[in-house]
Amino acid sequence: MHKLVILIPSTHIQQFDANWAKFLHAAERIPGLRREATSRISRHLTGSLRCELIHELFFDSYADLEYGLNSPQGRKAGELLHMITEGRVTLLLAEHSEDNIDHIRQYQNDPPAGDPA
């Protein structure tokens, strides 16, 4: 799975919320989109990268992501994103994997590799 990660440093932009809804509507029409996730940052712990909002668009493959972003719907969403953030946005492409809790719990009680049991 691959995803587009959108980092928005500030949502304190005039009409951000109303325009964000327009972006979401456009982004949800991108061909190949499998799911999306939005995270509003509640606290910054460390590091120099600052953002108030992270939005992720998930695709089955890099090819699907590339096709979707280059489609008319993808270009429209990109234009809206650039407009509402006034160009202050960071875009990242990432290979994505995740694990489920049942698999994670399987290893929680095991000693780390190399540690005596």
Tens of pLDDT along 25-41? 999 999 999 999 999 99
The ranges assigned to domains in the chain are: 2-105
pTM of the model: 0.84
Model confidence band, residue 20 (pLDDT cutoffs 50, 70, 90): very high
- Cite the beta strand spans of the chain per DSSP E: 2-8, 33-40, 53-59, 90-95
Model confidence band, residue 57 (pLDDT cutoffs 50, 70, 90): very high
Model confidence band, residue 17 (pLDDT cutoffs 50, 70, 90): confident
Arithmetic mean of pLDDT, 64-71: 98
Q: Which CATH architecture has domain 2-105?
A: 2-Layer Sandwich (3.30)
Measured CA to CA, the distance from residue 109 to residue 24 in angstroms comes to 41
